[in-house]
Structure 1
Amino acid sequence: MRFQLTEKGLKRRLDTLAEADPQLAEAIARVGYPAARRSGSPSYAHLLRILAGQQLSVKAAATIYGRLIDHIGDPPDPDALLDSDDRTLRSLGLSRQKIAYARGLSEAVRDGDLVPEALAGMDDGEVIDRLTALKGFGRWSAEMFLLFSLGRADVWPADDLGIQAGLQRLLELEDRPGRREVDRLGERWKPHRGAVAIFLWHLHGSPPA
């Protein structure tokens, strides 16, 4: 199931869920709807963006990815990245570890071992398996690709700290839930958990009432 990450698309799904969920309805009334989220396409560029942004703030990730694109082209060219030396890539803000991961991704795309566009024809589990086979791409990275590149409606990044903190705030939990608890609590929102995930990031980033 695919959905659009527009304000209208998110609002429609959240309103449907809120009809049966007073806590969600109250939170939406308090902090409003999340803004539209930029959606990409199943491409090398989006995978590279996800990789560059791992464990960084949104602002820092955008800055580093912008420098990278200025250097290797837009849309980015795997050969241009592979032809760049480590010193240059480091100067753009990539860590040594991310440089190694980016080279692995670029080689897979260049050699045809990974065809990003073909991921659109796979189910969620297949996409996760395919991407996590790449060094540097864990489950979180694969879930970001599913949600923001493929627009899969039921993506639920249970390991994400923002999701955990947002869920703690939404449900007024004493402690921040771990992955297993997040998975259990998210069952009520299937098959629209992607919209709830985006709302939880919004809720987490909103000032306390």
Structure 2
Amino acid sequence: MATTRRSSRLSAQAEAKPSPEAMPPPPQQNKRKRKATSDAAVPPQPTTPTKQRAQPGAAPSPLTPTPSTVAFIAEPADGRKKPRNATVTRLADPRFTNATLLSPETSRLVASRDIESVSPSKAPAIRMTTQNMLQEACDHLIKTDERMRTLIEKNPCKVFSPEGLAEKIDPFESLSSGIISQQVSGAAAKSIKGKFIALFGDEGSTPRFPHPSEVAKCSIEKLRTAGLSQRKAEYIHGLAGKFTNGELSVQMLHDAPYDELVEKLIAVRGLGRWSVEMFACFGLKRMDVFSVGDLGVQRGMAAFAGRDVAKLKSKGGKWKYMSEQDMLELSAKFAPYRSLFMWLMWRVEDSFTDVSTME
């Protein structure tokens, strides 16, 4: 009888024990990290803060730009590297759009005037052009704070270089790409964008991003077949309608003061403040954009100010590295070139955020 009970018990244990295929793999230990932390001579390296689960009813956590997100905003429709554009010396203004914008419907270019078109009598008085704006910005940052010299020398910024300003940007594609990339990986966003483009192309034709009028005529159900969620399909469809009815235009995006630009774009469903700020900076090439809601900028500024970000990491709240007021006060003195200042703050800690693909 005892033998029978023991046999039954062993059989039940065998059934309850999961098979090797069903068992989760043991967690891998980061031996290098453990070794580094145990060595008193080597200070711990800063790490990217892990995302905390949002509490019901709480505001979303500050977004941090990643290479896959920001580079995706201005990525060409066919996925190829952008061709080098011949630089043209044009008038520049750090408080307005300096990019060459491509009208999504007519392919008409909207940009500031070429310096050659300016009256010779007025040309000598012109101080800011697409050829010297980046150098003017670098000089201003260094003059304001000598510590910026090292950051600038180590991190050449191609975003606002003459070559970067010569890129042709389709604002409808850039904003749509920003919506597609929300809450998904870079690989997933690229795949969805490819399927989205394929919905409007003919077999054998060169891939191109659809015109707003084409998207506005398309049903939400068809847009979803590209892998878009219901909301994202509605967002892009609504954005296309704004361009089609003239509520949004390339000319407005080029000429509007920054506050007016942000107000109009945030009114579009699916475009939050962070998305608009990134578009204004990296799509429109505006030089005086600053995002207080970006965790990477917040942390970089804290490190730049000499704060121990490793200790602040465990602090709770949205502004755990630096308060919004402190961020605004510190960045104000770098105006009107806060876009470059913000870009460099992402580079303060290379181990925290690599934004090289923003170039």
2: distance between equivalents of 1:40 and 1:207? 32
Q: Which moved more, 1:113-122 or 1:55-64?
A: 55-64
Structure index of larger Rg: 2
- Give the secondary-structure state (helix, strand or coil) at the position aligned to 1:46: helix
2:156 is aligned to 33
Partner of 1:203: 348
Q: Which amino acid aligns with 1:32?
A: N
Q: 1:177 to 1:119 in 2, by over 3 A?
A: same
Query: Counterpart in 1 of 2:120?
Result: none
Q: Does 1:164 align with 2:332?
A: no
Change in Cα spacing, 1:82 to 1:32, as seen in structure 2 (3 Å) is same
Report the equivalent of 1:13: 137
2:294 is the alignment partner of 1:126: no
Partners of 2:220 and 2:234 within 8 A in 1: no
Contact 2:288 2:338 in 1 (8 A): yes
Query: Secondary structure in 2 aligned to 1:103?
Result: helix
CA distance in 2, matches of 1:199, 1:60: 28
Q: Residue type of the partner of 2:235? A: Y
AA matched with 2:180: A
| Superposition map of 1:12-91 within 5 A | 13-29=137-153, 31-36=154-159, 41=169, 43-55=171-183, 61-72=189-200, 74-86=208-220, 88-91=222-225
- Structure 2 unmatched ranges of 5 or more: 1-92, 100-129, 202-207, 313-320, 353-359
Q: Which moved more, 1:102-111 or 1:71-80?
A: 71-80
- Correspondence 1:116 to 2:250: yes
Q: Give 2:17's aligned residue.
A: none
Equivalent of 2:282, from 132, 148, 158? 148
- The equivalent of 1:135 in structure 2 is 269
AA partner of residue 131 (structure 1): L
The structure carrying a bigger helix percent of its residues is 1
> 1:182 and 2:327 equivalent?
yes
Instruction: Flag the 1:121–1:47 CA change in 2: closer, same or farther, 3 A.
Output: same
Unaligned runs of 5+ in 1: none
**Cα distance per residue 1:34-79 (max 9 Å; x no partner):** 4437665363222212322335566654554344334345242224
Deviates more, 1:182-191 or 1:142-151: 142-151
For 2:323 and 2:237, how far apart are their aligned partners in 1?
A: 33
Q: For the residues of structure 2 that align with 1:45 and 1:15, how far apart are their CA atoms? A: 33
> What is the identity, as a one-letter code, of the residue corresponding to 1:196?
F
CA contact (8 A) 2:169 2:283 kept: yes
Q: Judging changes above 3 Å, is the alpha-carbon distance between structure 1 residues 98 and 19 closer, same or farther for their aligned structure 2 residues? A: same
- Between the aligned partners of 2:241 and 2:297, the Cα distance in structure 1 is 33
Matched with 1:191 is 336
Distance 1:10 1:161, change over 3 A: farther
Shift of 1:183: 1.4
The answer to whether the 8 Å contact 1:47/1:145 transfers is: yes
Contact 2:151 2:344 in 1 (8 A): no
- 1:182 maps to a residue whose letter is M
CA shift digits 1:83-123 (9 cap, x unpaired): 54545544534333222211111122222232233221210
Q: State how far apart, in whole Å, the 2-side matches of 1:75 and 1:207 are.
A: 35
**C-alpha distance in structure 2 between counterparts of 1:121 and 1:145, whole Å:** 15
Q: Counterpart of 2:268 in structure 1: which amino acid?
A: L
